[in-house]
Structure 1
Amino acid sequence: MAATVEFGIMLTPFGPHASPSVFEDLATTAEEQEFDVVWTGDHVAFPAEIPNEYPFTPSGKAPPAQGIDREAYDTFTVLSYLASQVEDVRLGTNVCVVPYRNPVVLSKLALSVEGLTNGRFEFGVAPGWLRTEFDVLDVPFDERGSRTDEFLEIFTRACEEHEFSFDGPHHSFPETGFYPAPEGDRPPIWMGGFSGATFRRTAQYADGWSIYGARPDAVAEGYERLRPAWDDFDRSGTPNVAAGRSAHVGTDTDLDTDRPLIGDADSVIEDVEAYADAGATHVFIDFFSVDPAEQCDQIERFGEEVIPSF
């Protein structure tokens, strides 16, 4: 019996083809193909200098969609727009770079999308990696971890208490209201990364861990590191795990079919099963092509040839 896995796509709100019509086409195609969630990445501004320190590819090179002259939409605005375009698929960030924004402002953005989507928002967060973008935003890069912790405390309280004051190492404010308040539980929180602090934050604040570009063995390794932290914080149940990478369903490619999620449908199904065996509860796909038509084609292939097996 195949494992139970949920599926998502990565929608990039920046790059040469970024536009409202493209966002709508990708999200509606994902919904039609019964994907569970559409996630977006997050950048506020692209500086001219993009260091080759990208932590999610073997080459260390930043993706081609990133660059000073690219279209770049705000991720929360895109999600708000999509809230009126799709009815069932969940919408979220994967990941939002927490330290880029004031925590009160960021809480307002997240809670607003939660309200506009009628509770379909998922909040993937991380401390960030692009040092030069921190420079543009005048945020100390070396404080990104502690600022992420502080935000997670504030957001947790915002969802539970709705009105409170706060005095922290980076931000303080008098009694303040955080509305719209979630009608039920707070939005699911995903923590991105692969550091020890990532697993601690997942166990302390989040519902799941999200990792991009990892093979199943690396996902299994991370899951084994996460479980003790989960137990240390007396969390019930088991953590969710989302594994994602660029995918291509089909043999019409020169890509290396020994890499996961590349090849005919049967081999991609086997790869998804390997991720599930490694602890993944969610698999989300990105794309090798920046062309929207080719991305929609891959969403359709994955939806028609892979998802029905799960």
Structure 2
Amino acid sequence: MASTSDLEFGVMLSATSNDYGIPDEKRPEVFRRTATTIEESGFDVLVAGDHIAYPDEIPSDYEFSKSGEPPFTSETSVYDVFQVLAHLAAITDQIDLGTNVCAAPYRHPITLTKHILTLESLSGGRVDFGVAPGWLETEFDALDVPFDERGSRTDEFLDIFRRVCTEGRLAYDGDHFSFDTVGFYPSPSREIPVWIGGHSGATFRRIAEYGNGWTTLWDSPSDVETARGRIMNAWTDFGRDGKPNIAVLRPVNVGGDGDRILTGPADKVIEDLESYAEAGADRIIIDFFTTDVETQLEQIRLFGDDVIPSF
């Protein structure tokens, strides 16, 4: 089946922060095997999520599981996303390495900016930066960051980061963060893509004010089409040229049974991807319905062999 869509494809490395039942001494090998398989299979980007410390108290209304229970507890090994991506930068050559998404308020803007610029340098210009305000209130409490300030703190970080990438040295005086002139080096040699996560009106405003595009998860093609209209309204309000990018993260099961989207024979998965492209998406990040590593690797290979060549 031929396609005229220009889609990029990525893979979510959720083993960095979800409970996979893998001994800690074996998990780095899983990261490396997954990264090399992603690159060998023709994907464009590998992304991972961002948490720092899981508290005992975690809400049981996690919207992306049927039970409402999140795929982690306070005993789950959670790896620093920037160290993992830097580790994988050393064993890959072509794929971009991204956060999907980094919770901006978890770190001081100077620290977070240093992480991004360091990874950009170590990877040879392959950083793909997804950012959002965050959602786990008890984790904010553990980090001593006011949860109700997460939106405004994200805005200040994005303002600082945008200026850093063009100015190199700057002072800042904001509602949450103030500092005298400091240098931010190594400096990037290109514009680092910034993807904004979320669904609120503030999210769509941030995309237009600071970002290159929107990143979301589990949205249907119709959801994407609706959101794209709202994003374009903000994009126009801010006088932006071109168009925003849209990335959607969804589980995939090539060859699987069932009536779920992105599940079934390769031709059916390709048709579903076409629906996303028609709705305005230009990147699909695949996740999985299983935490079995070997099954995930097989899905990556199947997707690379039977789906990506059609795009």
Both structures adopt the same fold (TM-score exceeding 0.5) = yes
User: Could you tell me how far 1:291 is from its partner in structure 2?
Assistant: 1.6
CA contact (8 A) 1:54 1:129 kept: no
Task: Describe the superposition over 1:155-177 as per-residue Cα deviations: whole angstroms up to 9, x where unpaired.
Answer: 01111101010000001000011
Task: Describe the superposition over 1:94-147 as per-residue Cα deviations: whole angstroms up to 9, x where unpaired.
Answer: 000000111110000011101111110010000011111111101111000000
Map 1:215-234 onto structure 2 (within 5 A): 215-234=220-239
How far apart in 2 are the matches of 1:60 and 1:99?
28
Aligned residues between the structures: 303
Q: Which residue, out of 189, 213, 217, partners 1:212? A: 217
Counterparts in 2 of 1:58 and 1:231: CA distance versus 1, 3 Å: farther
Alignment partner, residue 292 of structure 1? 293
Does residue 1:170 correspond to 2:180, yes or no? Answer: no
Alignment partner, residue 68 of structure 2? 61
Alignment partner, residue 153 of structure 1? 159
How far apart in 2 are the matches of 1:146 and 1:99?
9
Q: Which amino acid aligns with 2:37?
A: T
How far apart in 1 are the matches of 2:155 and 2:90?
32
User: Could you tell me how far 1:2 is from its partner in structure 2?
Assistant: 2.5
Counterparts in 2 of 1:49 and 1:84: CA distance versus 1, 3 Å: same
Map 1:204-283 onto structure 2 (within 5 A): 204-251=209-256, 253=257, 257-283=258-284
| Superposed CA RMSD | 1.3
Alignment partner, residue 204 of structure 2? 199
Alignment partner, residue 74 of structure 1? 80
Alignment partner, residue 98 of structure 1? 104
Task: Describe the superposition over 1:65-111 as per-residue Cα deviations: whole angstroms up to 9, x where unpaired.
Answer: x2111111100000000010100011010000000111110000011
Counterparts in 2 of 1:60 and 1:108: CA distance versus 1, 3 Å: farther
Q: Which amino acid aligns with 1:307?
A: I
Alignment partner, residue 136 of structure 1? 142
Normalising by structure 2, report the TM-score: 0.95
Aligned residues with identical type, % of pairs: 51
How far apart in 2 are the matches of 1:261 and 1:44?
31
Task: Describe the superposition over 1:243-282 as per-residue Cα deviations: whole angstroms up to 9, x where unpaired.
Answer: 111111113x5xxx32211111111101100000000000
Alignment partner, residue 307 of structure 2? 306
For structure 2, the residue ranges without an aligned partner over 5 or more in a row are: none
Other structure's SS at 2:270 match:
helix
How far apart in 2 are the matches of 1:62 and 1:190?
27
User: Could you tell me how far 1:60 is from its partner in structure 2?
Assistant: 7.4
Task: Describe the superposition over 1:172-205 as per-residue Cα deviations: whole angstroms up to 9, x where unpaired.
Answer: 00001111100122x1000011111111000100
How far apart in 2 are the matches of 1:146 and 1:35?
34
User: Could you tell me how far 1:58 is from its partner in structure 2?
Assistant: 6.7
Q: Which amino acid aligns with 1:152?
A: L
Other structure's SS at 1:96 match:
strand
Normalising by structure 1, report the TM-score: 0.95
Counterparts in 2 of 1:205 and 1:109: CA distance versus 1, 3 Å: same
Other structure's SS at 1:71 match:
coil
Alignment partner, residue 7 of structure 2? 5
How far apart in 1 are the matches of 2:129 and 2:274?
25
